[in-house]
Amino acid sequence: MGNLLGLNNLAPESTLQMVTYFLVPSAILLAGTIDDLRSQKIHNKLILAMLPIVLISQFVGFGASGLGYGALAFGVALGISIPMVLAGVLGGGDMKLFAVFAIATNIAATVYVGIYSLFWGALFGVMRAILMGQGLVLFYNMVSLVKREKPAEAHLTKIPYSVALLFGWMTYLSLRQIGGR
């Protein structure tokens, strides 16, 4: 049943499947990160341009089952990211990037990348706040969040979350390689 839900990894057996499984998701996150770093926004045109590429690559690489895994992972990505968008932790462009990325992978990769990106996002946010001399502001924002108060927009420490997603994907690939799965 786990494999039916896409919890087990698709096993790339050909060069085409290797490209589909590793290169396409990496290219998606890299393109989104470059767009985010250049303009502080992930443009809808980029997301819409990547969507057919992802769907075609999944179908050509893994057939209908690849699209099924991608569709389930898409739902999981939205389930992970919508609460983060509503909480103001994640932007809408980041959510869309994560969702398109998820279509190119499976549920396991999506969940792990989501978890690892939280770690990287927190680390980058703290590092940026400290380097910009805003450690105290970060502390007060954390206290505000615990009190369920919304911090003032001007005092938020923002990072391009696409970078955290890219690092989460690299962490997933590295740990997957070490684990030999």
* pLDDT tens digit sequence for 117-162: 999 988 888 888 778 777 777 777 677 767 776 655 544 556 789 9
**Which pLDDT value is given to residue 157?**
55
Given a cut of 70, the residues of the chain with pLDDT beneath it are: 1-12, 141, 145, 149-158, 179-181
**Which pLDDT value is given to residue 9?**
53
**Which pLDDT value is given to residue 145?**
66
**Which pLDDT value is given to residue 2?**
43
- How far is 62 from 19, CA to CA, in rounded Å? 11
